[in-house]
Chain A
Amino acid sequence: MSYIKKPAARHPKLKVNSLGLTIRDYEGSMSTLCAGCGHDSVTAALVQAFFELEVEPHRLAKLSGIGCSSKTPAYFVSEAHGFNAVHGRMPAVAAGANAAHRDLLYVGISGDGDSLSIGLGQFCHAIRRNVNMLYVLENNGVYGLTKGQFSASADIGSTSKGGVANQQRPIDPVNTALSLGATFVARSFSGDKDQLIPILKAGLSHSGFAFVDVISPCVTFNDHQGSTKSYAHTRSHMHEVIETDFVPLRTEITTEYSEGSVQGITMHDGSVVKLHKVADEYDPTDRRAVLDYLADVGSRGEIATGLLYLEEAGVDMHGFENTVDGPLVEIPFADLCPGSKGLEEVQKEWQ
């Protein structure tokens, strides 16, 4: 029933952004996910981020694969173009779309089954290719639509609803992304909007592949005692490494920031991400140090969260491919076809 229209009623005092849009204009159709699903909170955070970043809805392309998480693009920004791809293959569609039209804002929503099992290859290669997009992995450790099988992110010892403990080693998407050279790696929690929204905004401003792993509990199949992806477990084991402030270009232009535990990084679009470090020795621009730190946190059974790694000067897919600055789709045919003269020229070599 995702096409039931939400009531158009709008509070007269709703805040309006510079495009004349209210937050309601960034909503989508009614969610059909279970009441209390973490994914709906992620959707709400995305809506807030788009509104605050004043994104033009039709300049946004939202993509997903298959699964509960992949239903969510229907639930935000109705006036954006959406693409629900096949299971685990959203990154390829995003890469092809971005190759054709680099001026749109790309958001991909995936899940742990979609990204870490059937689509692990595509996830890895999207990182290598550094496709300019925000990639949100709504991570709940379980397959919901097929009723509760473990996913590849389930921790050893984490139990299913029926009490069976998972024995296989998990694939940690943050670790994977870091070791593959991702330029923006974050982890957050669907239950922590204050942390999540600035991270999403920073990810949308990042030039390159911005990866956000969001622990997003499944209330129906994986929110019980014994699960390491439940609300309670995540809340009690969260270890916030970095607090993120996102400062849009318009508000404040500050390029240098290094006062004690605060590190400022200027994004490609001129906005600034301020990282407040909880631990002084943590350096979110040192990939090896981040990996070591996360290994320590993980070995204590804690879940490190925050914008964990950021590198703003990376080369993205278009940089690798040396494509023109504008969208390929806007190049007139006359500039693409070499015409009869060109054909004559080529065929001289065929004689």
Chain B
Amino acid sequence: MARESDYGVNDLGLKIATVNGTGSASANGLLLQALFRMGIPVSGKNVFPSNIQGLPTWYEVRVNKDGYTARSPNFQLVIAMNPESYARDIEEVVSGGWILYDNTRELDDEFRRDDVTFLGIPLADMCVEHFQGSRIRILMKNITYVGALVALLDIDMDVVKGMLQEKFASKQHLMDANFTAIELGYTYALEHFDCPLPIRLEAMDKTKDCVMVTGNAAAALGCVYAGATVGAWYPITPATSVMDGFTEYCRRFRVDPDTGKNNFCILQAEDELAAAGMVIGAGWMGARAFSPTAGPGISLMSEFIGLAYYAEVPCVFFNIQRTGPSTGMPTRTQQGDLMLCAYASHGDTKHIVLFPADPKECFEFSVQAFDLAERFQTPTFVVSDLDIGMNDWMIPKLEWDDSFVPDRGKVLAADELEKVENFHRYLDLDGDHITARTLPGVHPKGAYFTRGSGHDKYGRYTEDSDAYVEVMDRILAKVESAADHVPAPEIFETDGGKSVGVVSVGGCHWAVLEARDALAAEGIEIDYLRIRGFPFSQAVEQFLEDHGTVIVIEQNRDEQLKNLILLETSCAKEKLQSVRYYGGQPLSKVHVIEGVTPFLTREPMEVSQ
């Protein structure tokens, strides 16, 4: 539990509890962006229900001067706007913390705590008094609490007002209402409370080379930059905003100025099976094509994914993971599809998988995924999750090298085909396991029959054992050779011994980094490797070999990453320990520290060397 002495400037966990569908998202977004513009490292986590209107929803804001952006380990301030969730919201604030609530209707005694400070503001009354119409009153209640926070936390009012001016430049009446609401909250707080609170904020200069963005928007932009022209999808939380983003950026950059026509085609399919088929059809023609989906979509696409694997058709799938199995908890995060993506489809299959940890990598891996898919002529997965995909992340500004040339892989052009006597689709001529492909419509000599049924290296239908095995073995060697081309693991090594190493993946990264620093401050140093691609490279194998104990940290019940390591490396089972959190929230350093501690204390001497 936090004590008064723990509080410092620019170090705050803030939780806002509201009802979904009441416009709180824009108020919370305003707050987050204001802090970002004050130059303070900040992150926002939206914990929302699978519902359109009326259920409890939360927004967590973490301010951290040191730049830690993982889920806040605790909350000093809770804005309790939803009586239905009062009990749990009030319980969640640390001892010595603050609870801001609407005292238009006074709190029941059962919710009272004597170790926290209650800050009551008659938000509903104030909004009824100052605004006409029920909708605007509901909306402005949210803006009013932002106004109160401006006073309570010492947020720069000019920044907030500047943002409202930008946002409502063309809607004067809304700008007026927002200004009134901000002032109402601000003035009330100043007059009634001892402002600012000890958890106040102060402008810094730590965000000037950064941007604030979601992973899905960044992934979508990556698809535009990769030159993808065909996107096929079926709406699904939490992947929908990938296609929303792709649509937005395509409309901006891909509409022919002369004709007004689109240099892209977005197909909303009847289901994920069709979406996968469309992507494969487009890939067959030579277009860069992709489908964003979540676990249930990958389940449905699996048959098609096997076809693309066996017939060697490039295609890219984004899996924005949510909590499974089945429908699971669609608005909660998890890393439950690692195995699914690595081996999707029946029969012997293995796929290239990229694991971004933040929106910056979502952008970069998105571009790289299309290169890998075309180079290796195989389905390639970008496996993100709801936390990375839908939450606002502060990341270093994205960069683009204008000399970038996409890797289209071995594709024979018309003049090359002219010189070929006979083209055979699956004949490995140079021993690198990758065979040249041709695109329909280019040259009569390039024609071949793409099929998911047994075929020999000449592309002919076969039921012959040796001919079948020969192709299957080459495809395996081909996919495994991608290990050197997927993003290399990120390794954080200490000077100390090599007894304990931690391995993690994707969005776990930020909590692991924070926990690692916290442990180092206690004198416990751990080496850390973050996996960024599958098949695993030699560097992963080496790290496993170098460490006596390897703790695998991941967000699923079944130790999927650990099992993938066991299956795909020579690491001994006894060496691997598992730390799992799979409750659907983003990982925080608390999960990591609590999880790894038992394994560290078992060998304290070796660890502290």
Contacts and interface: CB of A to CB of B under 8 A. Distances in A.
Interface of A: 2-3, 56-59, 61, 73-74, 78-86, 89-101, 103-104, 121-122, 124-125, 129, 317-318, 321-325, 327-329, 331, 333, 335-340, 342-343, 346-347, 350-351
A331 B263 contact: yes
20 contacts: A81-B447, A82-B451, A84-B453, A89-B274, A91-B277, A92-B273, A93-B281, A95-B274, A95-B277, A95-B278, A98-B281, A100-B286, A101-B286, A125-B274, A322-B261, A328-B287, A336-B229, A338-B224, A338-B249, A343-B399
Contact of A3 (B225, B285, B460): B460
A78 to B, nearest CB: 7
A338 B304 CA distance: 32
A96 B279 contact: yes
Most B CB within 10 A of own CB, among A86, A91, A103: A86
Contacts of B212: 350-351
Contacts of B111: none
Nearest to B439: A329
A324 B263 contact: yes
A317 B512 CA distance: 48
B500 interface: no
B188 interface: no
Does more than half of chain B's interface fall in helix, strand or loop, or is it mixed? mixed
Contacts of B304: 86, 89
B271 interface: yes
Interface stretch (B54-62, B252-260, B426-434, B561-569): B252-260
Given A80-B447, A95-B281, 12 more contacts: A81-B440, A83-B449, A96-B267, A99-B281, A122-B273, A122-B277, A322-B260, A322-B262, A329-B286, A336-B254, A346-B221, A351-B37
Contacts of A2: 461
Q: Which of B260, B278, B439 has the most CB of A within 10 A?
A: B278
Interface in B129-157: none
A324 to B, nearest CB: 4
Contacts of A336: 224, 227, 229, 254, 263
B444 A93 contact: no
B361 to A, nearest CB: 16
A46 B524 CA distance: 75
A254 B245 CA distance: 48
B491 interface: no
A183 to B, nearest CB: 19
A328 B265 contact: yes
Contacts of B277: 85-86, 89-93, 95-96, 122
A100 B277 CA distance: 13
Contacts of A318: 265
B441 interface: yes
Contacts of A74: 449, 461
Nearest to B231: A99
B267 A82 contact: no
Given A93-B284, A100-B281, A323 B443 contact: no
Interface stretch (B400-408, B474-482, B529-537): B400-408
B165 to A, nearest CB: 15
A235 to B, nearest CB: 34
A324 B307 contact: no
A337 B281 contact: no
A3 B457 CA distance: 13
Contacts of A350: 211-213
A100 B282 contact: yes
Interface residues of B, number: 75
B225 A94 contact: no
Interface in B203-251: 210-213, 221, 224-227, 229-230, 232, 249
Nearest to A128: B270
B448 interface: yes
A96 B291 CA distance: 11
Contacts of B256: 324
B264 interface: yes
Contacts of B265: 99-100, 318, 321, 323, 328
A99 B441 contact: no
A58 B400 contact: no
B276 interface: yes
Nearest to A90: B277
A217 B595 CA distance: 66
A99 B230 contact: yes
Given A100-B282, A103-B441, A333-B227, A328 B448 contact: no
A122 B270 contact: yes
B517 interface: no
Contacts of A327: 285, 441
Contact of B444 (A58, A91, A98, A337): A58
Given A101-B285, A104-B440, A338-B224, A79 B278 contact: no
B281 A96 contact: yes
Given A59-B441, A99-B278, A329-B229, A343 B400 contact: yes
Interface centre among A78, A101, A328 (most CB of B within 10 A): A328
A83 B281 contact: yes
Contacts of A343: 221, 225, 398-400
B338 to A, nearest CB: 25
A333 B406 contact: yes
B267 A86 contact: no
Contacts of A323: 261-265
Contacts of A89: 273-274, 277, 303-304
Given A86-B452, A321-B265, A96 B230 contact: yes
B282 A342 contact: no
A346 B285 contact: no
Contacts of B253: 338, 342
Contacts of B232: 92, 96, 99
Contact of A347 (B263, B280, B398): B398
B286 A83 contact: no
Contacts of A73: 449
Contact of B447 (A58, A95, A331): A58
Contacts of B276: 92
B441 A58 contact: yes
Contacts of B195: none
A84 B281 contact: no
B446 interface: yes
A92 B281 contact: yes
Given A83-B281, A84-B450, A101 B211 contact: no
A329 B283 CA distance: 10
Given A93-B284, A323-B264, A347-B398, A86 B404 contact: no
B349 to A, nearest CB: 14
A83 B284 contact: yes
A86 B37 contact: no
Best-buried of B227, B262, B281, B287 by chain A (most CB within 10 Å): B281
A100 B230 contact: yes
Given A329-B229, A336-B254, A99 B406 contact: no
Given A84-B453, A329-B439, A324 B281 contact: no
A144 B304 CA distance: 23
Contacts of A342: 253
Nearest to A89: B277
B449 A84 contact: yes
B289 interface: yes
B397 interface: yes
A119 to B, nearest CB: 10
Nearest to A82: B449
B27 to A, nearest CB: 19
A109 to B, nearest CB: 13
A54 B229 CA distance: 31
Contacts of B36: 351
Give the 5 A-B residue pairs with the shortest CB-CB distance, closest first: A92-B277, A96-B281, A96-B278, A100-B287, A350-B211
Most chain B C-beta atoms within 10 Å of own C-beta, residue among A79, A97, A322, A338: A97
Given A101-B285, A340-B402, A324 B259 contact: yes
B281 A78 contact: no
A96 B282 contact: yes
